[in-house]
Structure 1
Amino acid sequence: MKQWGATAFLVLLFAFVIISALNENDEKEADSGLQEYSDRDQEGAGMTAPNAPDGLEEGEQAPDFTLQTLEGETVKLSDFKGKKVFLNYWATWCPPCREEMPEMQRFHEEFGDEVVILAVNGTGSEKSVKQVKEYVQEGEYTFPILLDKDLAINQTYEIISIPTTYFIGTDGVIQQPRIVGPMTYEYMKEMKNALN
C-alpha cells in the first residue's frame, strides 16, 4: 500500500512538472505577442485571436522602418524602393518559420537579383541575438536578417501569427494579400511574378 501511494505521488508530481513547463512556455509566447502559425488553421489564415487586427491591406503604402542587420548594418525599407520585396517576419522558436527558411534560401539563390527577401526576426521574443546568429549560420542563410529588438515592426505591421509575409512592389506599396504561414518555393515564384 505504501509503495502504491509513493508511486501515485510521483506520477502526480511528474504531471505537475509537465503542466508547469507547458504553461511557462505558453506564457512566454503570449508575453511576446506572437504565436506560431498552426497548420491546423485554414491555409493562409494562421492563428488569430478573436479581435485581432487584420494586418495591413493590399494597396497600402508599406510603412518605412529602420533596423539593424545581424552584421550591425543599418537598413531602411525605403532603401529598396524600386525593387520587389518579400517582408517576412519570423523567429527561431517557430517550427513553421524553420520549415520555411530553406525554401526562402533556395528562392533567394535563384531570384535574389529580382526580389529582395528581408527576413525580420522578432528578436524581442528570442532568448538572445546570439541564438539568432547561430541559427542563421547553421542554416547558411544569406538573405538579409533584420533584428526587431523592441517588436516595433511586429506592432506596425500588425503581426499576430508567424511566419507572416508581406509582398511589396517596386512602388513601395503592398501589392498582394499577406500570407500567414510558411511559404513554399513555388508560392514565392508566383508572388514574384504577381508583383510589379
Structure 2
Amino acid sequence: MKKIVFGISFIIILVGIMIYNTFAETNEVEDTGSNLYDVTGDTSVSGGMIAPAESVGIQPGEIAPDFELETLDGEVVKLSELKGEKVILNFWATWCPPCKEEMPEMQEFYDKYGDDINVIAVNFKEKNDKVAEFLNEYGYTFPSPLDSEGLVGHEYGVLTLPTTYFINSDGVIQEPRHVGPMTYELMEEMLHTLN
C-alpha cells in the first residue's frame, strides 16, 4: 500500500512540475513580446543570423569600399575604376543553394544589360578550381573575381550568402543591401533606380 501511495504522490509531483514549467515558459514569451527574428530558414527574408538587416554591412549613402580582386582569367577588377558606372555587387559561393537559384537570372540580366550596368559576382572564400568548374559547368560569363581570403566580404559586412549591394555611378551604396537570391525583376528595378 505504501508503494502505491508513494507512486501516486510521485506522479502528482511530476505533473505539478510540468504544469508549473509550462505556465512559466508561457509567461516568459508573453513578457518578451513578439518574435523579432525570422527563424523560418527562408533565405529571401531580410536580415540574417539573428541580426536585423540594418545592423551590419555598408549602409545606403556610404561610399562603397574599394577593392582589387582577380578573376580566374587573371583579369583584375578594381571597383574604383568603375566610378561613373552603375554596379550590382554580389557575394556568392558554389555551395550556396540560394546563390545557385539566382545565378541563371543574373546571367540572363547580364546578357541583356551588361553594357548598361556592371554585374560583379564576387566568389567568397573558395578554391579556384571549384569556382572554375562551377562557372564552366553552367556557362556563367559575368565577371566573378575571387575573394579567397574573405577580406572584401568582411569589409562589406557579409554574413549570409548571397548578399548584394547596389552602387550608383558616384561609387555610393544607393539602396539597402539585399540578402537572399535576387530576381531578374529586382535587377531590372535597380538598373532603372540607380543614378
The runs of 5 or more residues in structure 1 that have no matched partner are: 1-37
Equivalent in 101, 104, 107 of residue 103 of structure 2: 101
1:150 corresponds in structure 2 to: 149
Please show how residues 65-76 of structure 1 align to structure 2 within 5 Å: 65-76=67-78
Please show how residues 26-45 of structure 1 align to structure 2 within 5 Å: 40-41=41-42, 43-45=44-46
How many aligned residue pairs are there? 156
2:17 corresponds in structure 1 to: none
Deviations 1:58-78 (A, max 9, x none): 000000001011111222101
Counterpart Cα distance in 2 of 1:149 and 1:49: 26
Moved over 6 A (4+): none
Asked if the contact 1:69/1:147 (under 8 Å) is kept, the reply is: yes
Select the structure of larger CA radius of gyration.
2
Q: Which letter maps to 1:182?
A: P
The runs of 5 or more residues in structure 2 that have no matched partner are: 1-38
Counterpart Cα distance in 1 of 2:194 and 2:185: 15
Distance 1:145 1:168, change over 3 A: same
> Does 1:190 pair with 2:189?
yes
Asked if the contact 2:43/2:180 (under 8 Å) is kept, the reply is: no
1:145 match: secondary structure? coil
Q: Which letter maps to 2:46?
A: A
Deviations 1:152-180 (A, max 9, x none): 01110000001000000000000000000
Q: Percent identity?
A: 53
1:50 is displaced (CA, Å) by 4.6
Distance 1:43 1:74, change over 3 A: closer
Please show how residues 1-196 of structure 1 align to structure 2 within 5 Å: 40-41=41-42, 43-50=44-51, 53-122=55-124, 124=125, 126=126, 128-196=127-195
1:155 match: secondary structure? helix
Asked if the contact 1:85/1:168 (under 8 Å) is kept, the reply is: yes
Structural RMSD (CA)? 1.9
The range that moved more, 58-67 or 40-49, is 40-49
Asked if the contact 2:46/2:52 (under 8 Å) is kept, the reply is: no
Asked if the contact 2:44/2:181 (under 8 Å) is kept, the reply is: no
